[in-house]
Amino acid sequence: MSPGASVELSLPVTENTAAKKSGLSMEQQPVTHRERVRFRSGAFLILTQLLFLLYSLKYLLQPRRYPLFAMHSRNGGVLHWLKAGNVLGLTRQAVFRGKAFSAPLVPAFPSAAFDRMVANGGMNVLAAGTEWKRQIDLAILAVTRRCPLSCEHCYERYNTGGTETVSFDQWKRTIAALQRIGTSVIVLSGGEPMVRFEDVLELLSSADKSASDFHMHTSGMGVTRKRARLLREAGLTAAAVGLDDVVEARHDRLRGRPGSYRQALQAVDWFREEGILPYLNMCLTRTLIRSGDLWRYLELAKKANVAFIQMLEPRPCGGFLGNAADVLLTEDDRAAVMRFFEATRDRRQYRNTPIVYYVAYTEHPRQMGCMMGGLSHFAIDGQGNVTPCVFLPVGFGNILSEEFETIYNRMRKAIPHPVRATCPSLLLGRTLMKEAVRGTAMPVPHEIIREEFESIVHSADQTSGALQKESSGEPS
Ligand code: SF4
């Protein structure tokens, strides 16, 4: 499922009314430079959800147009979609320029991209791997190999540097293919995507924005106010800026460049002021957790007025492949993160702070399980290799030598259902390290480790997760 397939839905918004009247699309609408992210929670959110159910009649009454929409079924449907958000702790909703955002991998509501998601079964969160859910929630494309930083935790470490391998035309064709299959959110990442700014702008301009939302993952380097405006006009909906610490020196050290902390925060302001929803990507380091500074980070994020804090646990890949023992979180670290996450989710005092999206919690076997390989998300690296997850450098083929759909189908076959076990990136870390020492290029071709990969996917503890238990009536 889209872990993000959250529950918080927006009012049947009429916010585009002004745009329609003026004949301008949302991308073309002028912004006020006082754009703010606001949050819905509590009774207002419940009211919003009820109104969304009314809005859903539009889907229910047009079964040909929305063939995979269901009010309720064993496979999911809108009622389960609403429930899923509560199970995952997504109990608030960000509103920006009249649109509602439930999670980083759900399209803005209302929008044509959201409707397209519904038509493709994107709401059938329990049906990943079946015909009931065809939609990919999130595809992360490393549209450049170049980057001005040298972050310790970069998962693309094995790809960065050198010249571009994947041409503009190739990315354009791949985006079109992703939209044919059905992809809710396409993320332009890298490397640093701002380094390839003209191509990024052209990719956005030429893409079909009614089929997907477009996001960017950036360090903030290379962002200017003017560039932010051009990106919004070209169709960028949201931008996640990497901010790993509340202490400037620690962030700059991790990122390998003085000034990167200030530039990240400046970029957040420019994105928001120019009409692009800003949120933060944060690598959960031991230093940040053990210093107790997660709370200060939350205050900083609130001040920066971002929609989400997407918390990502370190994984043994990229820059962390060789030193996993020093960086992976311990059980105590995770317990501290959970306390932080639960407090921001449950306590009223945090209802106007950014929504904390804790990816490892969502993917825990008791929640949704690992949804790599296109069940919810997948990635294409800077050299065109298709991998099931940015944190799992296992290659299923390269878009420079094969059709994307062929590779995608191969990957889907190898990962037919969610993996309800420890994160496969953690389980395969040692094997990948051994391959790296042996001189195997990253990503490691799937065939080389097929047996171990299959045993993780198929022999893992497939115990039903919380949502599936609810679905089947089992006690959780
Ligand atoms: S491999 Fe790990 S990090 Fe990647 S989707 Fe699965 S659980 Fe998440």
Please work out whether the CB of residue 392 comes within 6 Å of at least one atom of ligand 1: yes
Please work out whether the CB of residue 370 comes within 6 Å of at least one atom of ligand 1: yes
Tell me the C-alpha distance between 89 and 106, whole Å.
15
The SS3 assignment for 187 reads strand
Please work out whether the CB of residue 141 comes within 6 Å of at least one atom of ligand 1: no
Does the pLDDT at position 30 exceed 50? Answer: yes
The structure tokens listed for 314 are 């370190």
C-beta of residue 148 within 8 angstroms of C-beta of residue 386: no
The number of the ligand 1 atom at minimal distance from the alpha carbon of 377 is 5
112-124 per-position pLDDT tens digit: 999 999 999 999 9
Neighbours of 270 (CB within 10 A): 21
Beta bridge partners of 394: 444
Which of 283, 359, 425 for a ligand 1 pocket mutation test, highest count of atoms within 8 Å of Cβ?
425
Please work out whether the CB of residue 425 comes within 6 Å of at least one atom of ligand 1: yes
The number of the ligand 1 atom at minimal distance from the alpha carbon of 313 is 3
C-beta of residue 468 within 8 angstroms of C-beta of residue 419: no
Query: What's the rounded mean pLDDT across residues 170-196?
Result: 98
For atom 6 of ligand 1, which residue has the closest CA? 370
The residue among 104, 133, 154, 142 whose CA lies nearest residue 1 is 133
Phi then psi dihedrals of residue 202, to 5 deg? -70, -35
Query: What's the rounded mean pLDDT across residues 132-143?
Result: 97
Beta-strand pair 377-380/386-387: antiparallel
Please work out whether the CB of residue 389 comes within 6 Å of at least one atom of ligand 1: yes
- Residue 214's region, left for phi above 0, alpha for psi from -120 to 50, else beta, is beta
For atom 4 of ligand 1, which residue has the closest CA? 389
Phi then psi dihedrals of residue 242, to 5 deg? -75, 115
Please work out whether the CB of residue 95 comes within 6 Å of at least one atom of ligand 1: no
Q: Among the listed ranges 33-37, 382-386, 418-422, which one has the minimum average pLDDT value?
A: 33-37
Query: What is the reported pLDDT for 49?
Result: 86
DSSP string, 115-139: HHHHHTTTT-GGGBTSTTB--EEEE
368 or 31, which is more confident: 368
Please work out whether the CB of residue 365 comes within 6 Å of at least one atom of ligand 1: no
Cβ burial, residue 409 (10 Å; 0-12/13-18/19+)? middle
Tell me the C-alpha distance between 158 and 385, whole Å.
12
Distance 378 CA to ligand 1 centre (A): 10
Please work out whether the CB of residue 460 comes within 6 Å of at least one atom of ligand 1: no
Query: What is the reported pLDDT for 468?
Result: 54
Please work out whether the CB of residue 391 comes within 6 Å of at least one atom of ligand 1: yes
Q: Considering the entire predicted model, what is its pTM?
A: 0.91
296-329 per-position pLDDT tens digit: 999 999 999 999 999 999 999 999 998 888 999 9
71 or 227, which is more confident: 227
Query: What is the reported pLDDT for 126?
Result: 85
The number of the ligand 1 atom at minimal distance from the alpha carbon of 425 is 1
Q: Among the listed ranges 10-24, 63-77, 429-443, which one has the minimum average pLDDT value?
A: 10-24
Query: What is the reported pLDDT for 77?
Result: 81
Angle at 286 between CA 282 and CA 292, to 5 degrees: 85
Query: What is the reported pLDDT for 34?
Result: 75
The number of the ligand 1 atom at minimal distance from the alpha carbon of 392 is 1
**In the chain, what percentage of residues exceed pLDDT 90?**
77
The residue among 322, 360, 316 whose CA lies nearest residue 338 is 360
The residue among 277, 337, 281, 335 whose CA lies nearest residue 38 is 277
Please work out whether the CB of residue 363 comes within 6 Å of at least one atom of ligand 1: yes
The SS3 assignment for 421 reads coil
The number of the ligand 1 atom at minimal distance from the alpha carbon of 390 is 4
Which of 372, 376, 387, 417 for a ligand 1 pocket mutation test, highest count of atoms within 8 Å of Cβ?
372
265-281 per-position pLDDT tens digit: 999 999 999 999 999 99
**pLDDT category of residue 84 using cuts at 50, 70 and 90:** confident
Distance 395 CA to ligand 1 centre (A): 15
Which residues are within 8 A (CB) of 33 and not within 5 positions of it... i.e. 6 or more apart?
273, 274
Query: What is the reported pLDDT for 467?
Result: 52
Query: What's the rounded mean pLDDT across residues 235-249?
Result: 98
The number of the ligand 1 atom at minimal distance from the alpha carbon of 376 is 5
Query: What is the reported pLDDT for 85?
Result: 79
Which of 389, 428, 456 for a ligand 1 pocket mutation test, highest count of atoms within 8 Å of Cβ?
389
Distance 370 CA to ligand 1 centre (A): 5
Please work out whether the CB of residue 423 comes within 6 Å of at least one atom of ligand 1: yes
Distance 54 CA to ligand 1 centre (A): 35
Please work out whether the CB of residue 427 comes within 6 Å of at least one atom of ligand 1: no
Beta-strand pair 213-218/183-189: parallel
For atom 3 of ligand 1, which residue has the closest CA? 391
Please work out whether the CB of residue 367 comes within 6 Å of at least one atom of ligand 1: no
Tell me the C-alpha distance between 405 and 419, whole Å.
22
Query: What is the reported pLDDT for 1?
Result: 36
Please work out whether the CB of residue 147 comes within 6 Å of at least one atom of ligand 1: no
Tell me the C-alpha distance between 369 and 215, whole Å.
24
Query: What's the rounded mean pLDDT across residues 228-234?
Result: 98
**pLDDT category of residue 145 using cuts at 50, 70 and 90:** very high
CA distances from 265 to 191, 273, 278 (A): 19, 12, 10
Helix (H) or strand (E) holding 202: helix 197-206
Catalogue the E-assigned strands of 143-295: 183-189, 213-218, 238-242, 277-283
Tell me the C-alpha distance between 356 and 349, whole Å.
14
Query: What is the reported pLDDT for 5?
Result: 36
